[in-house]
């Protein structure tokens, strides 16, 4: 009888990882979207906040666009983590 050894091939490193390089790239894009949202929220202060009120802080960019970008960035992060490669 021939001596047969049961050899198990080690799977390649890419298939062992829970997250692949593509997942990390997508996560960086999501992180950039979140940072952009927070940067768009900055500003709108007045030179003398006690005596003068600046209505500039209530514009579309700070009240609507920036929070939507932040929420969209977090949703994109969840997608980036959950995405599976074929």
Q: Is residue 78 part of a domain?
A: yes
Q: Is residue 11 part of a domain?
A: no
Q: Which domain holds residue 67?
A: 18-45+53-82
pLDDT band of residue 64 (cuts 50, 70, 90) is very high
Rounded Cα distance between 17 and 45, Å, is 47
- Which of 11-15, 29-33, 60-64 is predicted with the least confidence, judged by mean pLDDT? 11-15
At 22 the pLDDT is: 94
Q: Is residue 2 part of a domain?
A: no
Q: How many domains does the chain have?
A: 1
Give the model confidence (pLDDT) of 14-46 as tens digits.
557 788 999 999 999 999 999 999 999 998 777
Q: How many residues does the chain have?
A: 86
Q: Is residue 9 part of a domain?
A: no
Give the global pTM.
0.74
């Amino acid at each position: 009888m021939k001596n047969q050894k049961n050899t198990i091939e080690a799977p390649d490193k890419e298939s062992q990882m829970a997250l692949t390089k593509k997942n990390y790239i997508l996560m960086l894009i999501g992180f950039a979207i979140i940072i952009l949202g927070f940067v768009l929220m900055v500003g709108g202060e007045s030179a003398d906040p006690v005596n003068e009120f600046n209505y500039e802080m209530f514009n579309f960019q700070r009240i609507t666009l920036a929070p939507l970008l932040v929420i969209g960035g977090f949703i994109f992060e969840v997608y980036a983590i959950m995405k599976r490669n074929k």
